[in-house]
């Protein structure tokens, strides 16, 4: 855990964001079950709460972009981008209610994203400028 909080890196931010996203998704049903509400107010969540999904997606997008610029492992890039894309599609599907999917798929995808960020942070960082892909 020390490795994550030593200095703010894209992978540390990405892992933290993914874990917050999981907590947000898991806690949501309990928050609304615990509050005393009428039938009308239990059907929908407050706008600020449901918009946290988009905040997490945007933070993850920037974290993945910057992480892929400094990784030394070429497999990490497609894994990060494919997981983020899947998470984006799952959350968009949930908001638009296109078709039903188990919530567990979203949780697993976010968890995998956090694990890949932590793995990349620990094992795949460039030690000098020669190994990194530079924009160009």
CB atoms within 10 A of CB 135: 4
Mean pLDDT of the chain: 75
Residue 131 in domain: no
Residue 134 in any domain: the answer is no
Give the residues of the chain that fall short of pLDDT 50.
Answer: 1-5, 7, 34, 36, 38-40, 133-136
In-domain check, residue 94: yes
**Would you state the structure tokens that stand for residue 17, as one six-digit string?**
């964001």
pTM of structure: 0.68
Number of structural domains (the chain) is 1
Residue 63 CB coordination number (10 Å): 24
pLDDT, tens only, 102-118: 988 988 998 898 888 88
Residue 72, both tokens: 């030394």
Q: Does residue 72 lie in a domain region?
A: yes
Burial 8-43 (b: 16+ CB within 10 A, else e): ebbbbbbbbbbbbbbebbeebeeebeeeeeeeeeee
Distance CA 130, CA 72 (A): 10
């Amino acid at each position: 855990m020390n490795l994550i909080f030593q200095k703010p890196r894209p992978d540390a931010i990405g892992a933290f964001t993914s874990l917050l996203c999981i907590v947000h998704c898991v806690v949501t049903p309990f928050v609304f079950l615990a509050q005393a509400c009428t039938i009308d107010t239990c059907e929908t969540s407050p706008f600020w709460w449901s918009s946290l999904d988009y905040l997490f997606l945007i933070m993850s997008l920037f974290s993945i972009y910057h992480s892929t610029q400094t990784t030394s492992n070429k497999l990490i890039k497609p894994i990060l981008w494919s997981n983020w894309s899947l998470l984006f599609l799952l959350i968009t599907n949930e908001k638009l209610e296109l078709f039903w999917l188990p919530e567990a798929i979203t949780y697993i995808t976010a968890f995998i994203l956090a694990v890949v960020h932590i793995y990349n942070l620990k094992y795949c960082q460039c030690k000098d400028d020669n190994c990194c892909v530079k924009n160009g």
